[in-house]
Structure 1
């Protein structure tokens, strides 16, 4: 039994280290492209909500909004760990929080003056003291994020941003797999997220924002957000 426990601990540490380095790679990339800022001269009416802009700027703000949501969620989890959380699970959530913050700050720097403001979130429906509630919400957020990036990829015009989105979605998919395995071992790639062709499912920006709206209090103006 002791040997099995040590093996599980080592596997957990290896997984945690992998997640940590995966997130660090994105953060380094963020610094490298922080100067790639674009501006949108459109002057929307503030009463219509936070304006995402148009074209690639709108897509970047769309991703930025989702990363803000995830970063806020995992920050709350880290600040108020659920009852009975293990040291290992706490470490996993701390690493994921750091990744999401890195993603959030990358988009903020890349968009520059055209970035939307910090969003006000509403997590009142989540019981942060319950492992079941936290893991279920984390699963929903991660699966949503992966499907969002997959769906938005076809709408990005600038190849640089497409490559970076691909790097970020791969990290999000690692998060999703980990969370699913914490809920039920071996469920990381079931048919609710992977189709018959072995491909991750995707959602359009409209579908994603409708789902995410439950947790976002800030009014959003996405009238010029590309769609299909």
Structure 2
């Protein structure tokens, strides 16, 4: 029996005695438990962060892939939580996360640039935004708390600014929300713009956690990730529902058609994977919120699910295609101008 096996048995015994998850995760992280292969991760190289104007076929996996631990997967998730938590904190308070929540010994530390408070006139929406902001900050603190000060990543540089070449404007231009090379999308200028920016992030967060599930070796870590996935799904459904209500009786272009443009842009970025109806993988793994016509009558599309009612998955490489706003192999761009921190860094090249 290897040294690794009795260590795992000891951890399982502690779990059965219902010791705290934090104690468990800290030790599991130190052992780099649950090593798995990351499918679809290509060799690292820098590329210009410009979205493809047309649909692209599926990314090609390399012949070899790095071996990942649960620590790697948790840190990958932490990059995404830094992004979301800063966006909502800025929109609600006008300030990003504090230094105590973004420091780390792994990777290059960076700031969340740009952003300001949204002027909310809808009291219900303002209340939702405050709740989501609190949840995302809690996710950052939880993930950092399950790792050690020597294993959790620092916050990377994040672009949440407003400008002609900002990540938001590049994404909005690709989605048809704005036109012209000098046009600007300001997610803080109105409640609808805020909802569209939130829609861009939330759906990706849901598919990212679902796609990362097979990469997690430890069951308690998997359970915690499932809990975060559920929260992200609640957030996404709230945002999608609010946009649908705003657009249902409004003339086009409205919130529904604009959300559809974002969905189409994400589909162009993340490739064209072969369909797997059980796992929730498909070429059209991103759906807008437009009314769906069925044999049983028209219905909304608040939940982007396949015919089995299963939400879609994205691989880490596909998630980074969207975060970097690039459908090629890249290690930086878009919302992460200097790349993410940790082991999982690269998007995948579409062929």
Same structural fold, with TM-score higher than 0.5 when normalized by the shorter chain: yes
SS in 1 for 2:192: helix
Within the candidate set 188, 205, 208, 1:145 is matched to 205
- Aligned pair in 2 of structure 1 residues 179, 134: CA closer, same or farther (>3 Å)? same
Q: CA deviation at 1:40?
A: 7.3
Q: Does 1:90 align with 2:134?
A: no
Deviation at residue 217 of structure 1 after TM alignment: 2.8
CA distance in 2, matches of 1:137, 1:87: 19
Q: Which has the higher contact order (CA 8 A, sep 6+)?
A: 1
The structure in which a higher percent of residues are helix is: 1
- Residue aligned with 2:30, SS: coil
1:154-173 to 2 correspondences below 5 Å? 154-173=214-233
Structure 1 position 77, deviation (Å): 0.8
- 1:217 equivalent to 2:337? Answer yes
Match of 1:181 in 2: 241
1:202 corresponding residue in structure 2: 313
**1:146·1:173 contact (CA, 8 Å) conserved in 2?**
yes
Q: Distance in 1 between matches of 2:192 and 2:208?
A: 24
Please give the secondary structure, in 1, of the residue aligned with 2:77.
helix
Q: Note if contact 2:237-2:302 (Cα within 8 Å) is conserved in structure 1.
A: no
Aligned pair count? 188
Unaligned runs of 5+ in 2: 1-19, 33-44, 46-66, 94-115, 162-167, 169-185, 249-288, 291-299, 325-333
Checking the alignment, whether the CA contact within 8 Å between 2:155 and 2:341 is kept in structure 1 is no
Could you tell me how far 1:54 is from its partner in structure 2? 3.1
Distance 2:156 2:140 in 1: 12
Tell me by how many angstroms 1:119 deviates. Answer: 2.2
Contact 1:74–1:97 under 8 Å retained in 2: yes
**TM-score when scaled to structure 2?**
0.49
1:65 maps onto 2:107 in alignment = no
Structure 1, unpaired ranges of 5+? 1-31, 42-47
Distance 2:199 2:79 in 1: 18
Which whole-Å deviations, capped at 9, do the CAs of 1:12-41 have from their partners, x for residues lacking one? xxxxxxxxxxxxxxxxxxxx4333222379
Work out the CA distance in 2 between the residues paired with 1:65 and 1:190. Answer: 29
Corresponding residue number in structure 2 for 1:39 = 30
Relative to the length of structure 1, the TM-score reads 0.73
Structure 2 SS opposite 1:92:
helix
With 180-189 and 206-215 compared, the bigger mean Cα shift is at 180-189
CA distance in 2, matches of 1:39, 1:199: 34
CA-to-aligned-CA distance 1:73-130 (integer Å, 9 cap, x gap)? 1001102443453121111100000000001111011122211112221012243122
After superposition, the CA RMSD in angstroms is 3.0
Compared with structure 1, are the counterparts of its residues 84 and 109 closer, same or farther at alpha carbon in structure 2 (3 Å cutoff)? closer
